[in-house]
Structure 1
Amino acid sequence: MPISRTVLRLSAVAVAALAFAGALQAQDKPVQLKLSSWVPAQHPLNPALQAWAEDIKKASNGSITAVLFPSEQLGKAFDHYDMARDGIADFSYVNPGYQPGRFPVMAGASLPFLFANGKGGTAAIDAWYRSYAAREMKDVKFCFAFVHDPGTFHARKKITLPTDIKGMKIRPATSTIGQMVTSLGGTNVQSSAPEARDMLERGVADAITFPWGSISLFGIDKVVSYHMDVPLYVTPFVWVMNQDKYNAMSAAQKKVIDDHCTTEWAEKVATPWADFEYAGRAKLASLPGHESYKLTPDQLHAWRTAVAPGEAQWAEGVKKVGVDPKQAMDALKASLVKYKSGL
């Protein structure tokens, strides 16, 4: 008995429907990521993070999308590690130095006079810290580490020697720099970057350690006039992910995330910011009433001598968590040499 055209048509529709259902089943479930950044919306880090997220969307065939929340919209800068741990954000931009003693190995990267630049410095710190991240940041999935271009002292008065710090109130960038300030007779005034201008304006702090371009970005150029032109320190940062969010993804989606949590991506994300901070040197030097000044060889030697004990202090903290400080510091310095970013 011949099969009618209607039956054939219905069979074709049924096959197509089954094929479509199978294709849907094979597709990854849509995932939307909340990315949290505590710097202001106009900060150069934010567009770089958005470009990173767009590349993830493309690589996942649209199954992973993201929304960036800048300017502490999801929580305070100090809380960003815990926000990633607890799922308040799926990815968080973290300054480990905001929580003294919590990340002792990473604190070594903010010891003075280590980093010459931000680009190679980012590759160096990321490649180095991968050996320690799973242990030191076990509450989250580590994605990558990065640094800004080296920062320095910006103050109401000229600072040329370590002895100038005695009696000053200084907002340090990290706990390691805070220890340096204390050892030189200064007083630490804690604040996140977004709160720093207000503290200086009210006289709660006399000086700040900060990268160059961000001085103008955060309006701090309105309250400090003297800028010590030396690569004093960098602040190490990490970009971390909520582990449960990662675990819930498909194998294909996990691979996309892993492919975007690399040293290469760390450098891509950090480069626009590094360029921005480097350009800030010339900008501040050109402002009326501002003075950017170099140190003499003798002054620089005095600084290196004065801050040298900081490494021993850092080493004691690292020993307490069962890590060999000499091995860790030697590895960091070797990485800095490899990526042409050591002083």
Structure 2
Amino acid sequence: MFRLVTCFSVAFSLVLPAAAHADGKPRQLVMISFDGAHDNALWTRSREIASRNGAHFTYFLSCTFLMNKAQAKAYQGPKQRPGKSNVGFAKSEDDVRTRIANIWGAHLEGHDISSHACGHFDGKGWSAADWSQEFMDARIALRDAWKNVGLADKEPQGWEDFATNDVRGFRAPYLSTSDGLVPAEKEAGFQYDASLVTKGPALPQVVDGIYRFGLPLIPEGPEHRPVIGMDYNLYVRHSKGAEDKANAKTYEDRTFDAFEAAFNKQYEGERIPLQLGFHFVEMNDGAYWRALDRFVSDVCHKQDVACVSYSEAIPLIAARGKSQQG
């Protein structure tokens, strides 16, 4: 299945550079991203959704899910004790082997593999050095992933270059940042950050050479109250962060309707890029992933719509000429 995806993705990427339609109206960009990127079943599912709809996604990878037991024991996040991670570690070396195969396959298909750091800690009090430590730990874990699970002889050609040079973006856990973040991102060679929250869909700011994107507040529910366009925030809104399978279909429909309304407002209006975020967790019995599938299947085939990764979005936004200089 995924070999066919690669061919399709290449063909799809060839049509992306046109930032605007012949009438001068910009393409409607849609950027779907995933935090954590650990559950291998959801790697498979997300890649299938993308393949079916000609979409490219962005995966913000938590590096603890690449660590074997020895690495997990030795890992120490900034201001943390050794061996601690707020999201845990890989279940087994076989789990890592499957995950790195998914990562490589997604990379070849044209998706962004970006960073979510390692232990999913709140960095609001971190210095630039703290962020740099996490970025380096994440880079090393990705670079050495095949070797660390006994597959050095099966490491794909180009993996080290990919791990060193092609991880171009970052999203902070909890969307929590500090003044030290952008300097550390610049030092790490990142092109973009996606840790902000905006009042609605917004073009990125460019701060010290880093494109800074934000998940938008979008109207949702019967009262159209704003909520961050991310599955976890909807989960808290709908069921106070507790599983409620009995009402999953209602939550799915509300989410789909909110996504569609946010999209239509831009598609029929200014065509500001729409960003939506997800996790590799099926909350409320998978309601938000089903809404995602329905949404992508609907909008990514529309005329003048491009469902793209953040890396693909940047040149299209730059060509539009309206990025705000920070």
TM-score (normalised: structure 2): 0.24
Looking at CA atoms only, which structure, 1 or 2, has the larger radius of gyration?
1
Which of the pair is proportionally richer in helix?
1
TM score, norm. by length of structure 1: 0.23
